[in-house]
Amino acid sequence: MIYTVENKKEISKKLKGKAILEGFAMAGIAAIPGSSRIKLRTKALERWLSNNHHAEMKWMEAERRKNISSLLKGAKSVLCVAFTYISSHNKNNNNNFFKVGKFSQGEDYHKVIYKKLKNIGKWINQEIPDCKWKICVDTSPLLEKAWAEESGLGWIGKNSNLISKNNGSWFTLGFMILTKDLIPDNPHQSLCGKCEICIEHCPTKAIVEPFVIQSDLCIAYHTIESREKTIPKKIEENLNGWVAGCDICQDVCPWNKSVPHNNTSETTPKEWIKNLNIDSLKWDDKTWEENLKRTTLKRIKPWMWKRNIEASLKNKK
């Protein structure tokens, strides 16, 4: 089949429509290698790494992250999708004792997104049989937020989260790299303006300048990624109940004041998360592992949960 501009427009529209039918809140297409902003975002990544702002997250140094074409030979386009995890069940912190990031309270979003994208892949095999594709979630070496911005889903905010005008920032991202030339959407422009509410409200001052997070000052980093045996005193003093992640910079963002919810079983908080309390320190590793199954929280090892809970208890406000 010879692809004309009209063919490309039609298939691009259908592809994004299929993504919405699969349950994604947004879908956009970016052309590879992208506009000049991809180069700017790559340079920003290099500066962030050179300042060691990624702390122990050495996987961020992967060279392939700077070149999307290295992930699939002949890559020409990328479909970017957003999965909303905010729901009427988790919009407020259900647990009054310990706090867990909203992104992780339901099913493991990696698996949810992968399954939906796999269905889109099957559709592509029927509709565009000569197109090869590769699924990427945030475990892949990809400049995720930069490509999502490039595809028009939103803009990278001063808290480094991707923000959408209509959907706020309560979503995780998925990608399909494609070997087919498609019609790209326009990159999104920043709408943060002069607002710095997220910077002002970060209790540990982890947003060291607009758009730049210093990981070793971030509560989410210390409760999820850090493998240190103890949490630094400055972080510990500002946990205020956070034991897995931190939503403060998103909770205060004006763009998150009124956004659509995704009230599905995929986003419904696990019962054990709602009931997490001081008695959880008595759980053995087997109990932790059973609870953590099918959630993205399994990244936090049982000993880390105990570390986080104990640190939070020291300065419970």
pLDDT in tens, 247-285: 999 999 999 999 999 999 999 999 999 889 999 999 999
Is 287 in a helix, a strand, or coil? helix
Closest-CA residue to 225 (of 33, 56, 41):
56
Return mean pLDDT, the chain: 93
pLDDT of residue 195: 97
Catalytic residue ranges: 138
| pLDDT above 60 for 144 | yes
- Residue whose C-alpha is closest to residue 20's, from 84, 77, 76: 84
**pLDDT over 80 (residue 92):** no
109-126 average pLDDT score: 97
Q: What is the pLDDT of residue 317?
A: 55
Q: How far apart are CA 170 and CA 88, in angstroms?
A: 12
Confidence check: pLDDT of 2 > 70:
no
Mean pLDDT score, 145-167: 97
pTM of the model: 0.93
Per residue in 47-88, pLDDT tens? 999 988 998 998 888 888 889 999 999 999 999 999 999 999
Proportion of the chain above pLDDT 90, given as a percent:
85
Q: What residue ranges in 179-241 does DSSP mark as E strands? A: 207-209, 212-213
